[in-house]
Structure 1
Amino acid sequence: MVELAIDLGGTAVKIGVFASDRGVETAEFPVDGGFHLDRVAEAADALLAGRRPQGVAIAVPGIVDRAGRGLLAAHGKYAALRDVDLSEWSHSTFGVGAAVENDARAALLGELASGSATGERDAVLITLGTGIGTAAVIDGHVLRGAHGHAGVLSGHVTVDLDGSRCPCGNLGCAEALASTWALDRDLRGDGSDGHRVAVGPELQRRVATASPLGIRDLIETRQEPESAAMLDRYLRIWGAVIVTQCHAFDPSVVVVTGGVLRARDVVLPALAEYVHEHLWSSSFRPRFVTPDEPELSVLRGLAAIALDPETTRDANDA
Structure 2
Amino acid sequence: MSTSLLSTYDPTGFGGVVQEYVWQWENQPLRVVYETLGNGSPLLLLPAFSSVSTRQEMAGLARLLAPHFQVVAIDWPGFGQSSRPSIDYRPEIYQQFLGDFVQAVFSIPITVIAAGHAAGYVLQLAHQQPDTFSKIVLIAPTWRGPLPTMGANPMLAGVVRGLVRSPIVGQILYKLNTTPSFLRFMYRRHVFVDTAKLTPSFMEKKWQSTQKPGARFASAAFVTGNIDAVHNQSDFLALVQSLSVPIMVVIAESSPPKSRAEMEVVAALPGVRSVVLPGSLGMHEEYPAEIFAAIEDFLHH
Structure 1 length as normaliser, TM-score?
A: 0.29
Kindly name which structure, 1 or 2, has the bigger radius of gyration based on alpha carbons. 1
Structure 2 length as normaliser, TM-score?
A: 0.30
